[in-house]
Amino acid sequence: MRRTKKQRQKLLAETIKENPFVTDEELADFFSVSVQTIRLDRLELSIPELRERIKNVAEKKFADEVRSLPIDEIIGEIIDIDLDKSAISIFDVKKEHVFKRNKIARGHHLFAQANSLAVAIINDEFALTAKANIQFTKSVKENDRVIAKAKVVDLDNAHDWTVVEVNSYVKKELVFKGLFELYRSKNN
């Protein structure tokens, strides 16, 4: 069904409000228009691009929850967190994150996403990575979206440490896995 520009923009605004994580490409497919048309519609409606929408949602929702580090120091965008239990973040691999020669992501960016998520999950004012056992399982390329999922696997308040497992995926395929042992302060 062909919609007028006004109808499309109204539905576009409603769709993004319901799901701020929808991509321009997904919207273009849904409305049967070009990605450029979606971008122009967003611009006219003053709706920011996906990355900015994710950041805004995360800052509003999780800024007060994350205790162990400032939300702007987390690599990637947190989209869900339950302190001392689990968390999820998204990291979009851009040109500045890859090797020029082969467009493969530099490993330290994937590590930084996983490590900062492991620290963020800690329900304490202070958390520090003491040890990490990591493995890169598949290459990540420019324009890939990495979804990191963290879960606390061991919590020892008596000795002030927590073990967090982080698995990172691109399109449901495991690309990174890590086990992080974190020291936390005694004042939680």
Does 24 share its domain with 75?
Answer: no
Q: Specify whether 96 is located in the same domain as 32.
A: no
Return the SS3 of 55: helix
Do 110 and 91 fall into the same domain? yes
**Mean pLDDT across 142-156:** 93
Q: How much is the pLDDT for 71?
A: 60
Same domain, 92 and 168: yes
User: Hey, what are 89's tokens?
Assistant: 């973040």
What pLDDT, in 10s, does the model give residues 26-73?
999 999 999 999 999 999 998 988 777 766 666 656 555 665 566 667
Mean pLDDT of all residues belonging to the chain: 87
Task: Identify whether residues 113 and 159 lie together within a single domain.
Answer: yes
Residue pLDDT, tens place only, 111-131: 999 999 999 898 888 889 999
DSSP secondary structure of 68-122 = SS-GGGSSSEEEEEETTTEEEEEEE--GGGB-TTT-BBPHHHHHHHHHHHHHHT-
Say how far apart CA 42 and CA 17 lie, in whole Å.
12
**Based on the structure, what is the number of domains in the chain?**
2
Question: Are residues 79 and 31 part of one domain?
Answer: no
Q: Which residues contact 124 (CB under 8 A, 6 or more apart)?
A: 67, 68, 184, 185, 187, 188
- Contact indicator for 99, 106 with CB cutoff of 8 Å: yes
> Which pLDDT band holds residue 186 (cuts at 50, 70, 90)?
low
Q: Do 24 and 104 fall into the same domain?
A: no
Whole-Å CA distances, 64 to 55, 74, 103, 184: 14, 14, 36, 19
What pLDDT is stored for residue 83 in this prediction? 87
pLDDT, mean of residues 75-97:
90
Both 25 and 94 in one domain: the answer is no
**176 and 123 belong to one structural domain:** yes
Quick one: 61 and 22 in the same domain?
A: no
**Beta partners for 166?**
150, 178
Same domain assignment for residues 42 and 59: no
pLDDT above 70: residue 16: yes
Domain co-membership, 63 together with 40: no
Which domain range does residue 16 map to? 5-47
> For the ranges 9-23, 87-101, 172-186, which has the lowest average pLDDT?
9-23
Range in 17-31, 92-106, 139-153, 167-181 the model is least confident about? 17-31
CATH classification of the domain holding 30 = 1.10.10.10
* Domain CATH code at residue 60: 3.10.129.10
